[in-house]
Chain A
């Protein structure tokens, strides 16, 4: 299971980097999102996947007795997913606005000469 996840996250990072290096803005966005998801899987794998009990201590014990599943990576991933959702939503709207103004999907065209405004 871990090996599979490691392969998947490696693939996602590789695909993300490849897409970011393209000139299209949409591919840039997809690449960023893909790398973000790769990072989430990375945190998940780094928290070492165990088929343990839920991290709840019985009332008659003071410490964990068995192997238990680490809840922190899941909390981290949850936070990271929420944040990357907000960032992606903003990025999509920004790219849509930019496309409406420029009518182009090429990062090399983002160099309009200076215009003056406050």
Chain B
């Protein structure tokens, strides 16, 4: 079914960013525009989600070019769920940015670039054309380069060089893969590719081409041998920026893998084994890295890597239940990881540091804020009624069912280390008495109440979303169930794009 509303969220961000460019250096106007724009995008995303949930996949042919020839935008349930989560995370980060960011950074265009980044993310989720996906990826990485370097401190530039080099390399692998794929099949439309790839005689060539996509998306989603750029760059930018990156950027890589490997390259035994080995090693290296870090944000960066492994494992097993686990984990992870970096920003405002040896006593001083943060940390660890718990059931169930005991072991180790690391952080940051030499400044206490609310409200919104995901798991499971059905049987997607006659 053809529907023009698909692109509304993209245009909301585009227009907001352009208006903000007109209001260059008027930071107060930009703040209002940003919060208003992200709120509008959130409403648009909710309506789109409701529509797709009720009516099924919607498509839009750009400039009315028929499907396999022109660029097509496809809003299936997976895409709109991620658009909804991105919009919610974007709204929270936007509120946080109004106070959690230094004025100089706003002066040099933080807000417009932030909106371009969100636009790129939503575009990447909605496009149904593989070259168009590449273009949206470039929109994302160029915006993220600017956000990462904005401010120009030494550590930021150093992190940005590593980030830039590996992400450009990832795009290059991706583009190489697209070039070869076009040479083999003569098509760029993902639904059309799904049909044409089955008729190719030399299936080994397809297998080799898929390696380029594993490499490209692997670097972007930070899996085992390719993740080193992430922990060495994510701790450098401001917390608001790190929240957008940590919550959303690696998840685009996972989304692209889910899309490409369910639609175009159906994983064979070798690919499944390869992805599973990658997943196990990602969990192990990520969790071991998190064990030794004392800076809160570095610790969170390694936890991102660790939990990417959980999602990869679900994709590697490629059965309905495993994919349900992956989708549910993706939904939970976007909310929690965004919130974690916002919390790191709040801690930094409270104590002026993010090093655990210099922190302490926050629980005694701010019990209510600490309890709010505790909800998020419990969700991350996966204490039963909360959101991190449910996806793991599916992953464990399927891993046992398939006899993948190494992956089961990695899941257990990953979960236990997450628990240990978070418990350790809780005792160091919140329970331990503040260290003697309290030279560190508290920027939070002298703030007016309104600004305090602006800092805490986004954490509360995302914590509420996590609570909702955890306590209303039944509904989320239904969504994940439908999405994983779509991923296993892609006929509805292909028919929605190319028309029912095939």
Contacts and interface: CB of A to CB of B under 8 A. Distances in A.
B165 A32 contact: yes
Contacts of B146: 90
Nearest to A98: B157
A28 interface: yes
B357 to A, nearest CB: 12
Interface in B98-114: 100-102
Given A46-B183, A83-B138, A39 B175 contact: yes
Given A46-B183, A72-B182, A118-B345, A87 B142 contact: yes
Contacts of B176: 39, 42
Contacts of A118: 100-102, 238-239, 345, 348-349
B235 A114 contact: yes
Given A20-B169, A87-B138, A87-B168, A42 B180 contact: yes
Contacts of B165: 20, 28, 32
Contacts of A87: 138, 141-142, 168
Interface centre among B141, B178, B348, B355 (most CB of A within 10 A): B178
B161 interface: yes
A76 B131 contact: yes
A73 B145 contact: no
B206 interface: no
Contacts of B138: 83, 87
Interface in B131-186: 131, 135, 138, 141-142, 145-146, 149, 151-155, 157-158, 160-162, 164-165, 168-169, 172, 175-176, 178-180, 182-183
Contacts, number: 103
Interface string A26-43: 001000100110010011
B161 A25 contact: yes
B352 to A, nearest CB: 7
Interface centre among B100, B154, B162, B352 (most CB of A within 10 A): B154
A39 B180 CA distance: 10
Contacts of B153: 115, 117
A114 B183 contact: no
Given A28-B165, A83-B135, A112 B239 contact: no
A80 B157 CA distance: 25
B411 to A, nearest CB: 31
Which range contains the number of B residues in contact with the other chain?
35 or more
A112 B157 CA distance: 11
Given A39-B175, A76-B131, A83-B135, A32 B168 contact: yes
B395 interface: no
A116 B183 contact: no
B485 interface: no
A83 to B, nearest CB: 5
Interface in A6-50: 20, 25, 28, 32, 35-36, 39, 42-43, 45-48
A116 B348 CA distance: 9
B141 to A, nearest CB: 8
Nearest to B187: A72
B182 A116 contact: no
Interface of A: 20, 25, 28, 32, 35-36, 39, 42-43, 45-48, 72-73, 76, 79-80, 83, 86-87, 90-91, 94-95, 97-98, 101-102, 107, 110-112, 114-118
A65 B179 CA distance: 26
A114 B160 contact: no
Nearest to B181: A46
Question: What's the dominant secondary structure at chain A's contact region?
Answer: helix
Contact of B188 (A35, A72, A97, A102): A72
B145 A90 contact: yes
A97 B158 CA distance: 10
A107 B158 CA distance: 9
B67 interface: no
Given A73-B182, A94-B145, 12 more contacts: A20-B169, A32-B165, A35-B172, A36-B168, A42-B176, A76-B178, A86-B142, A90-B145, A97-B157, A102-B154, A115-B153, A118-B349
A32 B152 CA distance: 23
Contacts of A73: 179, 182
B354 interface: yes
Interface in B175-217: 175-176, 178-180, 182-183, 188
Contact of A47 (B157, B183, B348): B183
A32 B172 CA distance: 9
A72 B152 CA distance: 40
20 contacts: A35-B172, A36-B168, A42-B179, A43-B178, A46-B179, A46-B180, A47-B183, A73-B182, A76-B178, A80-B175, A86-B142, A91-B168, A94-B164, A95-B161, A97-B157, A98-B158, A112-B158, A114-B355, A117-B151, A118-B239
